[in-house]
Amino acid sequence: MKPTQKATLFVAAAGLVMAGLAAATPAEAHRGHGGHGGGHGHHGHGHGCDHRTNDSLRKVLECVKVTEVLKHQRALQWIADHNDGTRASGTPGYDASAAYVAHKLRKAGYLVTTQEFDFNIFEDLGGSVLAQTAPGSVTYTEGTDFGATDHSEPGDVTAAVTPVDIALGAGNTSTSGCEAADFAGFPAGNIALIQRGSCTFEIKGENAAAAGASAIVFFNQGNDPADPSRMDIPAVTLGNGYTGGIPALNATYDLGATLSGIAGLQLHVLANVTRVPGTTTNVLAESRAGDPTNVVMSGAHLDSVPEGPGINDNGSGSSALLEVAEQMAKAANRGKLDNQLRFAWWGAEEANLVGSNAYVAGLTDEELASIEMYLNFDMVASPNYGLFIYDGDGSGFGLVGPEGSDDIEALFQEYFDLRGEPTEPSAFDGRSDYQAFINNGVPAGGLFTGAEVEKTAEQAAKWGGTAGEPFDPCYHQACDTIDNLSIKALQMNADAMAYVIFLYASGWEAINQ
């Protein structure tokens, strides 16, 4: 049954259930205050959750506990602490994380498989160089003016610079480097200066390499001077599939704009990175019962970046999803839910969504058609959090998901409305594992609490926290530890995940028990 067929019934019935829960546990709506340690076990103990079959929405919501989510979070932190501070795919820390999740799921009774796939292991070693060598001599600062481009090849080049179809100024609609024609007459061996905008960095990089560029300096688009994500060093990637074979650096808009106007410019570009072939795995768990032609699928990426343990990104989504799966296991495996549940913990998301793409690419047409929806949970406990729901109906950003995505958004929205919590839409911008499903026509939705973008004053008034600071100040850094969480956001989102997954997995008869 597609989401469009179920959501209307569910919203009406679920509202009655939630109202009953709120009446039974009035403190629940206000539990936690954000920040690590800001909340406690959210429904208390004594309900026998380890032994009973959670075959109703009421039971599931009683038993999904933030204390249990945090146990998984602490386990992932322990794994990182004992594996060089990281859980990145291709490292022992990731392998141990995958083994931990698989063990918990098998213990819960699911059918668990691991899917191995190839990818490129990228690491930024630090110490990259960007320097002007003519006319004059200027050395720029790594981390302030520029950084290595994710999935760049290593390399050390000094050469003349050629700007590629640059469009400067506020409101620009740069398509720099998106077409092979942009490189007409490009001098082979020169460094390409390419502006962000319109197409992927992978396309720009492949076009530059094909034109004979020896290296690339990408700079941010600068189309919105008030948006740091369009002015600062862009947090983007050439992608796991990049084959250009040349080094690349990312620079701020201001630096790129300055460089584009220097006649006779020559630069020294050193990308001090490694990029080598490797293998890693997805962890997949499927219920032993439920209609296999109506699969409710949920996922979260399990890997961190190499720089840190990734306890918010994305230990939060991984741990909350694991708790939800454990609490639904008996009902799902004993035929108490109409539809089959499938959960995924993706590898190599940080290498440009490789695990989820590999999974979807390996499905037959029949297997793909059986997936009724995909729900994605990537960063659900950012310390300076916002409450974002993926914009399935396109009303916020104009990027509409496949048919049924609007109903998924509406059901998440219903949960937060019943809790009296304001939300905002989050764009389907291709930055997480929903993308492979959307590209193949599967309805999608999910939750997000923000990353490197700064919280506005209006958002701080809505949710609390600090305006002018990123939603996650430790995004992709070593400080993304067990102390880098909002417990309140983690509580709310774990409940919202359980609410939506259960309602889509169950029939009408299960809602009001």
Contacts of 144 (CB under 8 A, 6+ apart): none
Fill in the amino acid letter for 136.
Answer: G
The 10 Å CB-count burial string (b at 16+, else e) for 20-35 is ebeeeeeebeebbebb
Assess contact for 293 and 370: CB atoms under 8 A. yes
Assess contact for 248 and 217: CB atoms under 8 A. yes
Active site residue 349: yes
Assess contact for 342 and 283: CB atoms under 8 A. no
**Maximum CA extent, the chain:** 76
- Which DSSP string do the residues of 112-143 spell out, in sequence order? EEEEEEEEEEEEE-S--EEEEEESS-EEPPBT
Q: Tokens 């979070």 identify what position?
A: 73
Assess contact for 282 and 347: CB atoms under 8 A. yes
Residue 253: phi, psi to the nearest 5?
-60, -45
Assess contact for 219 and 256: CB atoms under 8 A. yes
Q: How far is CA 350 from CA 213, 237, 302, in A?
A: 27, 9, 10
Going by C-alpha positions, the residue among 479, 418, 362, 432 that lies closest to residue 12 is: 418
Q: Which of 62, 153, 349, 409 is catalytic?
A: 349
List residues with catalytic annotation.
349
